[in-house]
Amino acid sequence: MECPYCSKNLIKGYIKTGGEVITWSSDPKRKPILSSRWKVFENEVKLGTYHYFKGGRVCAYRCENCEKIIIDTK
Ligand SMILES: [Zn+2]
């Protein structure tokens, strides 16, 4: 896959957590400190897969040149 900004090759990888679900949100507020690790709030999009014992993981493509990461939402 090519970077849409500079057209160089993207490096396939993953964004991972040790215990929390990975989400995207348009709301800049941070999650409440006591919210559960797998809670996806109303204004959030869950990214990738989540397993209670293994955490979250989503495929992502990184451009070393632009220092950007493109993430698959599923
Ligand atoms: Zn780039």
In this predicted structure, what is the pLDDT of residue 64? 97
43 lies in some domain: yes
pLDDT along the chain (74 residues), means of 10: 97 94 92 85 92 90 97 86
Burial tier of 58 (Cβ tally within 10 Å: 0-12, 13-18, 19+): buried
6 lies in some domain: no
User: How many other C-beta atoms lie within 10 A of the C-beta of residue 11?
Assistant: 13
Q: How far is the CA of 62 from the centre of ligand 1 (A)?
A: 8
In terms of residue numbers, what domain contains 22? 11-71
63 lies in some domain: yes
Point out which residues pair with 68 in neighbouring strands: 63
User: What's the total number of domains in the chain?
Assistant: 1
In this predicted structure, what is the pLDDT of residue 62? 98
32 lies in some domain: yes
In this predicted structure, what is the pLDDT of residue 21? 93
Q: How far is the CA of 54 from the centre of ligand 1 (A)?
A: 31
